[in-house]
Structure formats: C-alpha cells, structure tokens
C-alpha cells in the first residue's frame, strides 16, 4: 500500500484533531470507533486492518 504524501498526511492529522474536538470528550470514543469502522470498511482488506490495529495498539502507554 502506498503511503500518503506528507502534506496530505498533515492535513489528515489536522482534520482528525479538529474532528475529535468537534465530537467532544463525551463522544470522542464513539467517534473514533465509528471512524475506525468506516476506514476499515473502505480499506477493504482485513490483513491491512489488523496490521493498522496492531500499529495503533503497540506502544500505548
């Protein structure tokens, strides 16, 4: 899978941060879970989704 150009990735980062704030502390977990399901579905590949989950879980303090 090709990674995003850095500029686009930076925009993704900013968009996500704004969206988490928009969801608010009470709904941020639900928002992020919905986001993960939508992205997983659009990714269309369970192996890549599992790998993304591992990457995100790894090193959580």
Partner 1 sequence: MRPAGKGTLESLYFDYPQFAARRVPELDGATARHPVLIVGAGPIGMTAALVLARYGIKSVLIDRKDTFNDGSRAICIARPSMHVLERIGAVAPFVEKALGWRFGRSYYRGEQIFRLEMPQPPGEKYLPMYNLQQQYIEKFLHDAVAASDLIDMRWQSELSDIETRTDGVSVRISSPAGDYRLDADYVLAADGARSPVRSMLGLRLKGDNYEGRYVIADIRMDHDFPTERRAFFEPAGNPGGTVLIHKQPDDIWRVDYQLREGESEADALKEENLRARVGAILADVGHTKPWELEWWSVYSANTLCLDDYRHGRVFFIGDAAHIVPIFGVRGLNNGLADAENIGWKLALVLHGEADARLLDSYSPERRGATLDVFANATKSTRFMTPPTRGWRLAREAALSLSLKHEFPRGLANPRQMQPYTYSESPLTPYAEHDAEFAGGALCGSVAPNARLNDGSYLLDRAGNGMTAILFCEGQPTREQAALLAQLGRIDKRFVPVLVTSSSAASEAKAVVDVDGEIARLFAAAPGTLYLLRPDLHIAGRWKAIVAGEILKTAGLCLGSETP
Taking 3-state DSSP, the helix, strand and coil percentages for the chain, each rounded to the nearest 5, stand at: 75, 0, 25
Residue 45 token pair: 């590949």
Give the x-and-dash track for 2-41 against partner 1 (CB under 8 A).
---------------------------xx--xx-xxx--x
**How many residues belong to the site for partner 1 (CB under 8 A)?**
8
Minimum Å gap between C-beta 24 and partner 1 is 15
How far, in Å, CA of 39 to CA of 61, rounded? Answer: 24
Residues that bind partner 1 (CB under 8 A): 29-30, 33-34, 36-38, 41
């Amino acid at each position: 899978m090709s990674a995003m150009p850095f500029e686009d990735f930076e925009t993704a980062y900013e968009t996500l941060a704004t969206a988490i704030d928009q969801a608010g502390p009470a709904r941020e977990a639900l928002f992020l879970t919905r986001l993960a399901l939508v992205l997983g579905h659009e990714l269309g590949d369970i192996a890549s989704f599992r790998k993304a989950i591992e990457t995100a879980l790894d090193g959580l303090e």
